[in-house]
Amino acid sequence: MKLAMFGTGYVGLVTGTCFADLGNDVICVDIDQKKIDQLKKGIIPIYEPGLSDLVKRNVKAKRLNFTIDAAKAIKESEIIFICVGTPQGNTGKADLQYVLDVAKAIGEQMDDYKIIVTKSTVPVGTGDKVKRFIRNELYKRKSKLEFDVVSNPEFLKEGAAIKDFQNPDRVVIGVENGKAKKILENLYQPVARTNKPVVFMDVKSSELTKYAANAMLATRISLMNEIAALCEEVGADIKQVAKGIGLDSRIGSRFLSAGAGYGGSCFPKDVKALIQTLENHGFNTSILRAVDYVNERQKKSIVPKLKRFLPDLEGKKIALWGLSFKPKTDDMREAPSLTIVDQLSEEYATVSCYDPEAMENAKVMFAKHKNTEFCGNSYDCLKDADALIIITEWDEFRSPDFKRMKELMQKHIIIDGRNIYDPEEIARQGFSYAGVGK
Ligand SMILES: NC(=O)c1ccc[n+]([C@@H]2O[C@H](COP(=O)([O-])OP(=O)(O)OC[C@H]3O[C@@H](n4cnc5c(N)ncnc54)[C@H](O)[C@@H]3O)[C@@H](O)[C@H]2O)c1
């Protein structure tokens, strides 16, 4: 099938590439000329495991192309995916300007029946808005062309995005009629063949499913972080509590890790956007407001743990391991490291940091903090450090050379924001240690 992907970010580039790998002809469109130029040269603008090879293979096979020419992409495609960003607007509401820009362009340029698939995370009712925008442009040119708008929210996890496309828990598709359903069934047939559920529903339920999923996951994390705070007060261990409840089949063991709070381009903004939607419909949003509040509090709880060991941080050198919002991605959006670096700067500490993939993004995002040093590896940033904070649980931090760390560091303090170390083992190694919820 001939597909166009509008937006070549984490979602559009991965989805477009994976669809090309299934034999479809895919054209990826972006308004960012630099990104498209890089992609044409085989440079992948984001870090996602396995993506670079998959892009190269499909470009070579001429199934995957990149362009800024929206009109050409619209005209040449049967199915047009909208994968552009839906960032947080100023009231917390999702900002739909990029989605509606694409809808407008489709209405202006389409010359045949098209299926428009919204993959971006959009508030319930956006499908109707997209339809109105397209219809309005068609009306202006007195065209009676037909089209269908479909909702197909994306559930990929950065760091495992290709695996998630190839082996999803489920695919959710919101359709309005049998014609669109049949075309989408065909497109997703390679997934359905592996016995993965492809669930069809109405468009509004599909749009809401995405927000409900992210709100549920964020709620689990904030609940565990709240219980972790209680564990610290009463001398319980959150890891043992998580194990105890996770074995209950009604609860399950995933998303029960206490830590430095959730971040990323989805949970924070999607929780806030769902709050807005609920409030616009007159609901009291005490659950989700608490989820958001606990998360903000959690991100701010790491530096106070450090201050128990080093009450005055002025002039102290604090090493940070892990800056991206989670491992296996270079995505720094809403990462807890941003809050932690802000707090350390306010205390006049100096920061030396390292992340296996997010250093370039971090340099841009920490540009205002002149007291920040970016190091080439995890040990370089420990030199003369007064303490180390683990913010993101990259695998390479799990079994470090503690002896070498001790030799490099001036003081031997570790704040483990992701509970990756065993406190007893760390104590045996001669470090002072604080984790989360123990
Ligand atoms: N990143 C994730 O893990 C993830 C997972 C599930 C859902 N989502 C949702 O998917 C959507 C995209 O997220 P992302 O992380 O890929 O965003 P992103 O910011 O990485 O990429 C968006 C891209 O869209 C481009 N763009 C903007 N306007 C455009 C236009 N008119 N035409 C063509 N391109 C345009 C931007 O230049 C950018 O490259 C969001 O709604 C997000 O909430 C993201």
**Residue to mutate (ligand 1; options 8, 11, 31; most atoms within 8 A of CB):** 11
In the prediction, which pLDDT does 429 show?
A: 96
For 261-289, give the DSSP string. Answer: ---SSSHHHHHHHHHHHHHHTT---HHHH
In the prediction, which pLDDT does 192 show?
A: 85
pTM for the whole structure? 0.95
121 within ligand 1 shell (Cβ under 6 A)? yes
**Residue to mutate (ligand 1; options 39, 44, 81, 83; most atoms within 8 A of CB):** 83
Distance 407 CA to ligand 1 centre (A): 44
30 within ligand 1 shell (Cβ under 6 A)? yes
According to DSSP H, which parts of 64-198 are helical?
Answer: 70-76, 97-109, 126-140, 161-166, 178-187, 189-192
Rounded CA separation 347/344 (Å): 5
329 within ligand 1 shell (Cβ under 6 A)? no
Q: Which residues pair with 116 in a beta bridge?
A: 80, 149
In the prediction, which pLDDT does 388 show?
A: 98
Identify the residue whose C-alpha is closest to ligand 1 atom 33. 30
In the prediction, which pLDDT does 194 show?
A: 87
100 within ligand 1 shell (Cβ under 6 A)? no
Distance 120 CA to ligand 1 centre (A): 7
| Residue in 18, 28, 266, 381 annotated catalytic | 266
84 within ligand 1 shell (Cβ under 6 A)? yes
Reported for 296-300, long-range contacts at CB under 8 A and 24+ positions apart, including other chains, are: 296/261, 298/222, 298/225, 298/259, 298/260, 298/261, 298/336, 299/260, 299/261, 299/263, 299/336, 299/339, 299/340, 300/339, 300/343
Contact 169, 155 (CB under 8 A): yes
Query: 28 catalytic, yes or no?
Result: no
CB atoms under 10 Å from CB of 246, counted, come to: 15
Is residue 230 classed as helix, strand or coil in its secondary structure? helix
First to last CA, the chain: 54
Distance 326 CA to ligand 1 centre (A): 18
Q: What domains are defined for the chain? A: 2-201 (3.40.50.720), 211-298 (1.10.1040.10), 300-434 (3.40.50.720)
Could you tell me the two tokens for 79? 């199915």
In the prediction, which pLDDT does 61 show?
A: 97
In the prediction, which pLDDT does 154 show?
A: 98
Ordered per-residue pLDDT tens for the chain, 438 residues:
999 999 999 999 999 999 999 999 999 999 999 999 999 999 999 999 999 999 999 999 999 999 999 999 999 999 999 999 999 998 899 999 999 999 999 999 999 999 999 999 999 999 999 999 999 999 999 999 999 999 999 999 999 999 999 999 999 999 999 999 999 999 999 988 888 999 999 999 999 999 999 999 999 999 999 999 999 999 999 999 999 999 999 999 999 999 999 999 999 999 999 999 999 999 989 999 999 999 999 999 999 999 999 999 999 999 999 999 999 999 999 999 999 999 999 999 999 999 999 999 999 999 999 899 999 999 999 999 999 999 999 999 999 999 999 999 999 999 999 999 999 999 999 999 999 999
